[in-house]
Amino acid sequence: MILVLAIILSASSAAQAQVNEVKVVGQMRDVMWKGELQGKIYLDTIANKNALYGFGPVEYLSGEILVIDGKAYKSVVVGDTAMRVEETYNIKAPFFGYANIARWKEQSLPDSVETIAQLEQYLDRMTKGAKRPFLFRLSGTVKSAAIHIVNLPKGATVSSPDEAHRGQQNYKVTNATSDIIGFFSTTHKAIFTHHDTFLHMHLITADRAKMGHVDELLFEKGSMKLYLPAE
């Protein structure tokens, strides 16, 4: 009986670990330096969309993607101050990170964590013994944020990060209830994070009207909840 229970618990633990496992398709550096802009994953082919989370750019750097709570969103540039966000799995990405996370551990984000740099340090300190890479979630009021949507001109080729960001449109988010899905890893620089950070994050407002890649963040003290995958 004890042996059977141990086997069941071991199997359950293994299944949970697999559920939280982050999968990365494609590499950022292949897009930025080699110009591999074509889609390497079609989101609708992801078999298990239950509790699915993930993000990346749209193929040919024509928009941004965020999957949250099993729903996929695509944002594209409409103008200097406007964007269009639609819910759809009919998207391809040249690189994409995702995981199925059924259970989260909730905690309040400390008031001392107000910026991206402080968040990176806090996550690194708090998860030294945790499995990496991992996805995390932030929910609450964002005091201010700078987000962007890639918008490469059609037919353009890319051989450097500067060329990859041609046409990029920047947007501001102020005092908005938002959700942020992030990726943390110390070993994925140029693969799924930029060369100077362990983080990659996409933000979507609660009304689902704005969504994009996060460049700057300032949190409203006492309002943010941090969610880490439950082991």
Question: For residue range 12-69, what is the model confidence (pLDDT) as tens digits?
Answer: 444 444 678 999 999 999 999 999 999 999 999 999 999 999 999 999 999 999 999 9
Lowest mean pLDDT among 2-11, 70-79, 84-93: 2-11
Tell me phi and psi for residue 229, to 5 degrees. -60, 135
* pLDDT band with cut points at 50, 70 and 90 for residue 5: very low
Domain chopping of the chain, boundaries: 2-99, 102-229
pLDDT of residue 9 exceeding 60, the answer is: no
Average pLDDT over residues 87-104: 97
pLDDT of residue 8 exceeding 60, the answer is: no
- Topology of 102-229 in CATH? 60s Ribosomal Protein L30; Chain: A; (3.30.1330)
Q: Are strands 52-57 and 64-68 parallel, antiparallel or unpaired?
A: antiparallel
Average pLDDT over residues 115-128: 94
Residue 207 confidence (pLDDT): 97
The yes-or-no answer to whether 2-99 and 102-229 have a common fold is yes
* pLDDT band with cut points at 50, 70 and 90 for residue 3: very low
Higher pLDDT, 131 or 119: 119
CATH number for domain 2-99, candidates 2.102.10.10, 3.30.1330.80, 2.40.50.140, 3.40.190.10: 3.30.1330.80
Residue 106 confidence (pLDDT): 97
Average pLDDT over residues 205-226: 95
The answer to whether the bond into 133 is cis (omega within 30° of 0) is yes
Residue 222 confidence (pLDDT): 86
The mean of the pLDDT values for the chain is: 91
pLDDT of residue 70 exceeding 80, the answer is: yes
Burial tier of 8 (Cβ tally within 10 Å: 0-12, 13-18, 19+): exposed
Residue 187 confidence (pLDDT): 87
Of 185, 188, 150, nearest to 167 (Cα)?
A: 150
Average pLDDT over residues 208-224: 94
- How far apart are the C-alpha atoms of 121 and 57, rounded to whole Å? 25
pLDDT of residue 7 exceeding 50, the answer is: no
Residue 80 confidence (pLDDT): 84
Average pLDDT over residues 207-220: 96
E runs forming strands in 38-187? 41-42, 52-57, 64-68, 71-77, 83-87, 92-93, 96-100, 104-108, 134-149, 169-184
